[in-house]
Amino acid sequence: MSIKTATINGVCTIEIARPEKKNALTVAMYQAMANALISAHEDKAVRAVLITGQPGIFTSGNDIEDFMSRPPGQGSDSMDSPVFLFMRALLACEKPVVAAVTGAAIGIGTTMLLHCDFVYVSDEARLAMPFVALGLVPEFASSLVVPQLMGHRRAAEKLLLGDPFTGEQAVECGIANAVLPAGEVVNHARRVAERFNALPPGAVREAKQLIRGPQHEALLATIRTEGELFSKRLRSPEAMEAFQAFFQKRKPDFSKF
Ligand code: COA
């Protein structure tokens, strides 16, 4: 199993642990993360959730082999796929979710951060949303939230060009709270999560709902629209060229499209 979970001192930790593939997320890993979030949501002993990766890598995003061989279904089917279950559980989690970004956070590695409550980034981290370069479109409401956070121009650099950015830039554009030395980021994030042991859980839950509430329906509607396009694009010749190029360790050639 490449997802490790443990609940200690009121904090449910979800650790992505597939370092040999740079923590690329498979269908089974999304399902495990969705289950962990749903259990954390229901377990009274859990006061906050911590999502983290391995030294030097948070996650390289969706497993590209899975993209090719096991893409989420199309239309309404796509909403029941494990990646959607995971993101829906993240959006629905009433408890505070803290992310410790231990290194590269690519694709969904960055888009999941948009739906966490606290994001702490290692000074070695590089974030990127290279969907267009892969023949895809933005996902999980990033096309809504990223322009809201940083304005159209800077969103276009990240979502159309897929430019990578540092932890400091992530703080500056509102995606992260703070940059920490690589050796300290997980402990810092855990200490923030543990602070919820001393706070009243009912007030925390209702305050989180208020913070996120007004936008909730718009987020879900955007996720549905993006999801339909994304599923279609996963099957497109442009995406196939990008995926094959990744495994063949070459630059993709889009000149024929
Ligand atoms: N899906 C499937 N396999 C992946 C992967 C992914 N998203 N990311 C990395 N891997 C695999 C590589 O194929 C390689 O496997 P191999 O050892 O069998 O050849 C292994 O993990 C190590 O990756 P490598 O690219 O050699 O490591 P690196 O340190 O040079 O680069 C990254 C690290 C994360 C920058 C690079 O792997 C990368 O860009 N990954 C893809 C990111 C991406 O486009 N994700 C999808 C977003 S929607």
Determine the pLDDT at residue 76.
Answer: 61
Determine the pLDDT at residue 70.
Answer: 87
Q: Domain spanning 3-182: which superfamily? A: 2-enoyl-CoA Hydratase; Chain A, domain 1 (3.90.226.10)
Kindly list the domain boundaries of the chain, sorted by start residue.
3-182
The residue contributing the CA closest to ligand 1 atom 34 is: 60
8-state DSSP, 240: H
Determine the pLDDT at residue 5.
Answer: 98
Q: Which helix (H) or strand (E) holds 213?
A: none
The residue contributing the CA closest to ligand 1 atom 4 is: 21
Which of ligand 1's atoms lies nearest the C-alpha of 128? 47
Cα–Cα nearest to 150, from 187, 181, 176, 116: 176
Cα torsion angle, 126, 161, 220, 26, sign:
negative
Pocket residues for ligand 1 (CB within 6 Å)? 21-22, 24, 60-65, 104, 106-107, 130-131, 134
Provide block-wise average pLDDT over 10 residues at a time, the chain (257 residues). Answer: 95 98 97 98 97 98 95 75 96 97 98 98 98 98 98 98 98 98 98 98 97 92 96 96 98 97
Q: Candidates 21, 60, 112: which one to mutate for ligand 1, based on the most atoms within 8 Å of Cβ?
A: 60
Helix axes 237-247, 216-234, angle to 10 degrees: 80
The residue contributing the CA closest to ligand 1 atom 1 is: 63
Determine the pLDDT at residue 234.
Answer: 96
Give 113: exposed, middle or buried? Use CB within 10 Å, 0-12, 13-18, 19+: buried
In whole angstroms, give the CA distance from residue 254 to residue 249.
15
